[in-house]
């Protein structure tokens, strides 16, 4: 692990923020903290960061607004986001994932599990590029594995780290049906009971980005009671 990886922890509960920082620093990460939205946005624009851990309930700004800002900013759009929040309703979780969060951890949480999820996410993002560029092509989709870039009919598409891992998996094995657990393991590095809706939300986001009509997808197809597959011919 690269000890210079920098993580911004945004939480108005200073005790929780200190606890998270303590565990992450022990794991070898450099940690910055912000306790309100204004400070968080300033830090995001000022500091080079590898990961954002974001609470939703901030005193001056909703965490969702910050997530929207990150995904809309070309310089920050691929920054991995883990939402750490007391909002535990499924609707809140789905909204967070639809806004581009890579993971969603409800409070109260296990600090060691949080560190494990941080490691898994950063490991995927920072996986060494192959010695030579590898290009995957399926119909109108082109994935540059070395640059982690996707184009659809020649137009670039911005992907979150989790979306990239899903597309990489699909395009490496076109027309193969993956069950939900296998996709979660490949995309997140772990899977546990109750995460199906998390996967479904990431798939919904991908369809919005790559399908001409997300409600009638040509590429990412649902396999009833099993999972998903990417339809198309490798070029």
* Span 147-187, pLDDT tens digits: 889 999 999 999 998 899 999 999 988 999 998 888 887 77
Cis peptide before 88 (omega within 30 of 0): no
Whether the pTM exceeds 0.75: the reply is no
Per-residue pLDDT, 211? 96
User: Whole-angstrom Cα distance, residue 85 to residue 92?
Assistant: 10
- Bridge partners for 32 per DSSP: 8
- Backbone dihedral angles phi then psi of residue 175, each to the nearest 5 degrees: 70, 5
Confidence band for 190, pLDDT divided at 50, 70 and 90: low
User: Whole-angstrom Cα distance, residue 124 to residue 162?
Assistant: 8
Per-residue pLDDT, 125? 76
Mean pLDDT of the chain: 88
Per-residue pLDDT, 166? 93
Coil, helix or strand at residue 138:
strand
Residue with tokens 């991995």: 80
Going from the C-alpha of 34 to that of each of 16, 49, 112, 214, the distances in angstroms are 12, 13, 21, 37
Residues 18-66 have pLDDT tens digits of 999 999 999 999 999 999 999 999 999 999 999 999 998 899 998 899 9
All domains of the chain in start order, with CATH: 6-125 (3.40.50.2300), 135-230 (1.10.10.10)
Pairing state of beta strands 51-54 and 81-85? Answer: parallel
């Amino acid at each position: 692990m690269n000890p210079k990886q920098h993580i911004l922890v945004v939480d108005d509960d200073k005790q929780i923020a200190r606890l998270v920082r303590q565990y992450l620093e022990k794991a070898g990460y450099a940690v910055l903290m912000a306790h309100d939205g204004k400070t968080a946005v300033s830090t995001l624009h000022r500091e080079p960061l590898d990961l954002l851990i974001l609470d939703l309930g901030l005193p001056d700004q909703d965490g969702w607004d910050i997530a929207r800002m990150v995904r809309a900013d070309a310089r920050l759009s691929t920054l991995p986001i883990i939402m750490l929040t007391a909002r535990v309703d499924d609707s809140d979780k789905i909204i967070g994932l639809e806004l581009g969060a890579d993971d969603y951890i409800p409070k109260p949480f296990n600090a060691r599990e949080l560190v494990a999820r941080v490691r898994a996410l950063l490991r995927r993002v920072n996986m060494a590029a192959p010695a030579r560029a590898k290009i995957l092509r399926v119909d109108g989709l082109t994935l540059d594995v070395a640059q982690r870039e996707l184009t659809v009919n020649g137009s670039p598409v911005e992907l979150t780290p989790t979306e990239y891992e899903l597309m990489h998996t699909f395009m490496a094995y076109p027309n193969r049906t993956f069950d939900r657990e296998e996709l979660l393991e490949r995309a997140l590095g772990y899977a546990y009971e109750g995460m199906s809706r998390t996967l479904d939300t990431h798939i919904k986001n991908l369809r919005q980005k790559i399908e001409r009509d997300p409600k009638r997808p040509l590429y990412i197809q649902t396999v009833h009671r099993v999972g998903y597959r990417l339809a198309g011919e490798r070029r």
